[in-house]
Structure 1
Amino acid sequence: MCGIVGLFLKKDELRPRLGDMLTDMLITMTDRGPDSAGIAIYGDDAAGLKITVQSDDPAGAFDGLAEVLGAELGQPVAIKLADTHAVLTVPEGAERAASAFLDARGLRIMGVGKSMEIYKEVGLPKDVAARFGIRAMGGSHGIGHTRMATESAVTTLGAHPFSTAEDQCLVHNGSLSNHNDMRRRLARKGFVPKTENDTEVAACYISSRIAAGDNLGQALEGTLKDLDGFFTFVTGTHNGFGVVRDPIACKPAVMAETDDYVAFASEYRALVDLPGIENARVWEPEPATVYFWER
């Protein structure tokens, strides 16, 4: 099953409401995925890079972390705490050293970016969103996922979104049949998935295409040629938001667009409370067709 939501705001006046609207959309998709949930929020750019990390022992892991990491890097590090997650802002150019330090301390890195923050945990979507205070978060766009695990364990790392490059992330409804072969190909290019989840393989694939010079639309077009199986992908980048379905459009999907936003959901009921939805152009995205918007 699984449920996907996404919202791309065209007007800055709506930015303070992004987290609130996404939370309502995500909770509506609970019965499509009650095992775990996650949201990626693209907020204000940091003066550096944001590294979102997770720990099962946040009190022990995060106490004094910014000071210790700052001493290691030789530059100040800011920290924002949110339940089991923390967002560390490190100087640009220090991401590799900071990530190695955090890995060595047993912290799980959820994502890295100028604007992107990723929050995901095991549990019902309403509980996950409340734990992190998603409703109060603003930004330009975001994507979310409610998971019903069918092919890998119910864990924090197995939850979506998956991020495998700076300010890039992906949520997925479906299943890939050639993910093991693609995993080996991507590893040879330096994109190594860390989990068993086939969605992370797809995220690595898109990141590899963008790193090679593709824009988001071209990277999504590549999934139709190189990834086998049935899928709906919704992706986020620093400036963009994209959607693609497999050639037989196996999984349900609906989109809506107004002058204010573009929205995606696995079912229309997740869109009904969006402002101005009664005047939106609402459609089912076509099979094997890429839709993407960029600022």
Structure 2
Amino acid sequence: MCGIVGLFLKQPKLEPELGAMLSDMLVVMNDRGPDSAGFAVYGDGERGRVKLTISGTSEAALREAIAGLARAVGESLSVTLRHTHAVISLSAINEQKARRWIAARADIGLVGAGKRMELYKEVGLPERLAQQFRLAEMAGSHGIGHTRMATESAVTTRGAHPFSTGLDQCLVHNGSLSNHNGVRRVLQHEGLSFETENDTEVAAGYLSWKIREGASLKEALTQSLVDLDGFYTFVVGTESGFAVLRDPIACKPAVMAETDDYVAFGSEYRALAMLPGIDKAHIFEPAPATVYAWERG
């Protein structure tokens, strides 16, 4: 079943409230996906630096790994610890060295990377995870979230959404892809690798591959209507905004609200009901096979 939420703030003055608003939206979707949850928040970035979000088994394990990573890359790291995850800011010139060091470790994993994106996901009730990761404290311009009811792969941290396969890019998905194994083989031939059996990771990898080949996000999503079979709703986060796409049948529920201050997405209207000004918002159901995208200039 799963639940998806997304929030894009048009007005910078609202950025300190992003986490609190997104947290309320995510918690409402608790019963649509009680086995795991995750979210991505796009906050401040620094020129010449990259954020790596890593996950570990405990805070102690993370602290030990971070100390080792600092020695490996030869620089002081800016670190934010949240529950089982840590966001590490380091010089962009050391990104690949850091990635290789993390990949060689069995006790930690790379969850996401980007100039602005921080990505958190874990097994457990969405309401509890929002509290443990302190989502309500976070600020930013936009974010997306997901509550998962697993149907096609294991309930694990790696199998939770969002999936990130490109810098500042992540994807959440409600539905099921029927041809993901075939698409996976094509993408593996193109040099992509996968950590899970989740069909959503394949969809995320597909978009990253198309963008790497020169397509815009809108072009990649439009082509996915041809290349990805099944029923699905995608919400994609990027450095500058977010996008929504439903398959041509559009059997999965989806509703959107737009005001002068924000654009919001929810699998159900109740995820939007507490937003400020919702009574005056333009409420609509996104049309099938249509890409909706919002970006800041």
Q: TM-score, normalised by structure 2?
A: 0.97
Contact 2:55 2:110 in 1 (8 A): yes
Contact 2:166 2:208 in 1 (8 A): yes
Q: Which runs of 5+ in 1 are unaligned?
A: none
Contact 1:217 1:290 in 2 (8 A): yes
1:247 equivalent in structure 2: 248
Residue 287 (1) aligns with residue 288 (2): yes
RMSD between superposed Cα atoms in Å: 1.0
For residue 174 of structure 2, what is the amino acid of its counterpart? N
Q: Distance in 2 between matches of 1:269 and 1:67?
A: 43
Q: Distance in 2 between matches of 1:245 and 1:283?
A: 13
1:145 equivalent in structure 2: 146
> Displacement, 1:93?
2.4
2:274 equivalent in structure 1: 273
Q: Which runs of 5+ in 2 are unaligned?
A: none
Secondary structure in structure 2 of the residue aligned to 1:163? strand
Contact 2:169 2:239 in 1 (8 A): yes
2:88 equivalent in structure 1: 88
> Displacement, 1:293?
0.9
Contact 1:43 1:138 in 2 (8 A): yes
Q: Distance in 2 between matches of 1:67 and 1:152?
A: 33
Q: Distance in 1 between matches of 2:21 and 2:221?
A: 26
Q: Distance in 2 between matches of 1:173 and 1:67?
A: 38
Deviation track 1:97-130 (CA, whole Å, cap 9, x = no partner) reads 1011112222111100000011111111110000
Matched ranges for 1:133-282 at <5 A: 133-282=134-283
Contact 1:111 1:117 in 2 (8 A): yes
1:39 equivalent in structure 2: 39
Secondary structure in structure 2 of the residue aligned to 1:69? helix
For residue 115 of structure 2, what is the amino acid of its counterpart? K
- Once structures 1 and 2 are overlaid, which stretch shifts more, 146-155 or 186-195? 186-195
For residue 203 of structure 1, what is the amino acid of its counterpart? A
2:73 equivalent in structure 1: 73
Q: Distance in 2 between matches of 1:110 and 1:55?
A: 10
> Displacement, 1:64?
4.2
For residue 37 of structure 1, what is the amino acid of its counterpart? A
Secondary structure in structure 2 of the residue aligned to 1:86? strand
Q: Distance in 2 between matches of 1:16 and 1:210?
A: 31
* Identity score, percent: 60
Deviation track 1:78-101 (CA, whole Å, cap 9, x = no partner) reads 211111001111211222210111
Contact 2:112 2:164 in 1 (8 A): yes
Q: Distance in 2 between matches of 1:264 and 1:9?
A: 12
For residue 28 of structure 2, what is the amino acid of its counterpart? T
> Displacement, 1:222?
1.3
> Displacement, 1:68?
2.6
Secondary structure in structure 1 of the residue aligned to 2:220? helix
For residue 264 of structure 1, what is the amino acid of its counterpart? F
Contact 2:51 2:116 in 1 (8 A): yes
Residue 25 (1) aligns with residue 17 (2): no
Deviation track 1:197-216 (CA, whole Å, cap 9, x = no partner) reads 00000000011111122222
Secondary structure in structure 1 of the residue aligned to 2:92? coil
Q: Distance in 2 between matches of 1:4 and 1:271?
A: 11
For residue 221 of structure 2, what is the amino acid of its counterpart? L
Contact 1:66 1:78 in 2 (8 A): no
1:112 equivalent in structure 2: 113
The structure 1 segments of at least 4 consecutive aligned residues displaced by more than 3 Å after TM superposition are 64-67
- Give aligned pairs, total: 294
Contact 1:40 1:142 in 2 (8 A): yes
